[in-house]
Structure 1
Amino acid sequence: MKTTYFVIAVRPIRDNEDEADFIINDETLVIDAVEKCDLENLTIGEEKIRKTFPKHKIMVTHLPLLELFSLLSNISEIEVELIQEGLVAHVDSAPSRLGMAFDWEQKHNATIQKGSC
């Protein structure tokens, strides 16, 4: 099975729009177009989007990343529910890079890290 990629054309939000898809470095962006392709056709997809939307910023991501965001978000919600019920939560002996990104406060909080090497 081939990995699905998305080539996404985004533009700054207009004054009359209130829905945002991304906020990057204080710039609020909305999606105007998405080209779905596999890795072999990624260049073609990018060229197609760039030609049609020459003034837009172009982002590329792949479907497994979006699916992983959804999964990690669901796991976090389940862990909160388990903790509220007094049960054990977060059993993960080898978290993924993105899993650790969802727990960034654990990694970057000096109070939590103090005393551990």
Structure 2
Amino acid sequence: MLLLEGRWTLQILLHLKEADLRFSDLRAALAPISANVLTQRMRTLEAAGLVQRRYVPPPAASHVYGLAAMAETIGPALDVLADWRAQRQQTHRSCKTDISGVAAPEIVTGENPTGETE
């Protein structure tokens, strides 16, 4: 199994590298991710030993996610991947596409750069 596969995996690990987060805070940081997708990713990462979930007692009374010891050892690699991702995003912005290769909204909606309708 590839541990870093999936659209949201790298972003999740980068956020958790900065700080431990509650599910709702992590979801807000990753908007527009759905709750179902985030739940699936978190379970996969937890099963792989990269993320750990711990209970925070009252008055907070919630679960907090953080990087497990195994994931902390790949911190420098995460930094390199984050830099690579940022460079790709800059390149793709200039090409009117996002990191996933999806065309920018004006292309998706059928708008023409010349202003003519099709």
TM-score, structure 2 as length reference: 0.31
Structure number, greater radius of gyration: 1
Larger % of strand: which? 1
Structure (1 or 2) with the greater helix fraction: 2
